[in-house]
Amino acid sequence: MEFIPYSRQSITDEDIAAVTSVLRSDYLTQGPKIAEFEHIVAEYTGARHAIAVCNATAALHIACLALGVTAGDLVWTVPNSFVASANCARYCGASVDFVDIDAETRNISIIELETKLREAEMNGRLPKVVVPVDFAGFPCPLPQIRALADRYGFLIIEDASHALGASLNGQMVGGTNWADICVLSFHAVKIITSGEGGMCLTNDDELAARLRLLRTHGITRDPSEMENAPDGLHYYEQIILGFNYRITDIQAALGVSQMSRSIERQAERERLSQRYDDLLSGSNLKLPARQAGAVSAHHLYVVELLDEHASRERVFEYMRQNQIGVNVHYIPIHLHPDYGRLGFSAGQFPVSENYYHRALTLPLFPEMTESQQDRVVCTLNDALKVDG
Ligand SMILES: *Cc1c(COP(=O)(O)O)cnc(C)c1O
């Protein structure tokens, strides 16, 4: 029986030609493909600036640094995300705390955020930055988060690793002024891929300049940014402590080539998600909620088992035994041992924890066939019967 993965990159002959042409060119890195990739993503999202880096984790790290996150600061994110959404703050010496999710949208709960902000204000421990996540490709409620940011004085990094191509109220994720910096991932399973890769998007000129410096060792070759007079054409200056977080031209070429089919791919994800909705409408499952004004990038298709007695682990094992590559997104971040050592424990974020115990990610990728999808649905219905 053929194994159906939960996600899979789609690579065309054009993608391969684009990569090999870089391999034959003068620049494997620091060449023209990086600026081209940045330009294409900026155009697509409507962002004023795009800064490509080696992965989204690095993008989240320099986003925190560019916003001034430092030791003693507090950064909030959601438990229902990949660990990188929280780790970025710790790289800067800051402390992390979490805001629980909304059970319907699986994104940050505005009610929880507001309550926690009110308490934090009384305790004098407001966050410097909040990192909401566009879970599964559904845009998080940024206009409301922006309103709270303006009132309580925090900054926003939108982790849009799942959400290239998504939009809210007609505004493309990454191009809005709601977030200070928006981060994309081009890891192999994400919406488009460059193998590994990430990007920071911002409309703020100063933040963009700072992100570019942080990406390359804090080094500038622009005389207007230098502290000393250049003593020759060779001259450059390190003016802050940065990193080597560059992406290569090889990867950027793949990214550029992948972007040329991003709209068709998203339409295919949309069609397959809608088809799952239809095929599973009679099952005892909670399906992804459609949200008014929101266009999802449909990165993941996550169902939740509703039957009190159904065991997600039994269903998961049954699916895997039948060669269906189901997955679980996400183990709540605060439940990882490394977070336990910081004082977090089970029971602190009950909505995320309850969701986690019931969640199952079904295979979804643009080249998935209808017969593959039918097999997923059939096997899942069998698994639920066996389990019940
Ligand atoms: C994939 C992912 C990341 C990290 O992306 P990389 O490019 O692998 O570093 C961060 N946040 C979320 C929500 C992700 O899904």
How large is the average pLDDT for residues 130-156?
98
Q: How far apart are CA 342 and CA 309, in angstroms?
A: 33
Per-residue pLDDT tens over the stretch 229-260? 999 999 999 999 999 999 999 999 999 999 99
Could you tell me the pLDDT band of residue 43, with boundaries at 50, 70 and 90?
Answer: very high
Ligand 1 binding pocket mutation candidate from 54, 55, 57 (most atoms within 8 A of CB): 57
How high is the pLDDT of residue 388? 56
How high is the pLDDT of residue 70? 98
| Residue 271: pLDDT over 70 | yes
How large is the average pLDDT for residues 97-107?
98
Q: How far apart are CA 147 and CA 101, in angstroms?
A: 18
Q: How far apart are CA 82 and CA 99, in angstroms?
A: 14
Per-residue pLDDT tens over the stretch 191-220? 999 999 999 999 999 999 999 999 999 999
How large is the average pLDDT for residues 344-362?
98
CB 194 near ligand 1, within 6 Å? no
Q: What percent of the chain has pLDDT over 70?
A: 99
| Residue 79: pLDDT over 60 | yes
Ligand 1 center from residue 39 Cα (angstroms)? 21
Minimal CA–CA distance to 163: which of 146, 185, 130, 142?
185
Ligand 1 center from residue 82 Cα (angstroms)? 6
Report the nearest atom of ligand 1 relative to the CA of 55: 7
CB 55 near ligand 1, within 6 Å? yes
CB atoms < 10 A from the CB of 95, how many? Answer: 16
| Residue 276: pLDDT over 90 | yes
CB 182 near ligand 1, within 6 Å? no
Tokens 């660990």, residue located? 83
3-state helix, strand, coil in the chain (%, to 5): 40, 15, 45
Per-residue DSSP letters for 79-119?
SSS-THHHHHHHHTT-EEEE-PBPTTT-SB-HHHHHHHHHH
Residue 14: strand, helix, or coil: helix
How large is the average pLDDT for residues 271-281?
98
How high is the pLDDT of residue 310? 74
CB 242 near ligand 1, within 6 Å? no
Judge contact between 192 and 164, C-beta under 8 A. yes
How large is the average pLDDT for residues 367-383?
97
Q: For 289, which DSSP code?
A: P
Lookup: tokens for 45: 């999202």
How high is the pLDDT of residue 387? 60
Tokens 């009610």, residue located? 111
- Name 58's Cβ contacts closer than 8 Å, sequence gap at least 6: 198, 215, 243, 245
Which segment of 191-195, 309-313, 314-318, 372-376 scores lowest on mean pLDDT?
Answer: 309-313
Lookup: tokens for 22: 């870089």
Minimal CA–CA distance to 380: which of 310, 295, 300, 332?
310
Ligand 1 center from residue 321 Cα (angstroms)? 28
Could you tell me the pLDDT band of residue 307, with boundaries at 50, 70 and 90?
Answer: confident
How high is the pLDDT of residue 1? 87
Closest residue to atom 2 of ligand 1, CA basis: 161
Ligand 1 center from residue 55 Cα (angstroms)? 8
Ligand 1 center from residue 198 Cα (angstroms)? 8
Q: Is the peptide bond preceding residue 330 cis, with omega within 30 degrees of 0?
A: yes
Compute the mean pLDDT over every residue in the chain, rounded to the nearest whole number: 96
How large is the average pLDDT for residues 108-120?
98
Minimal CA–CA distance to 21: which of 232, 197, 256?
256
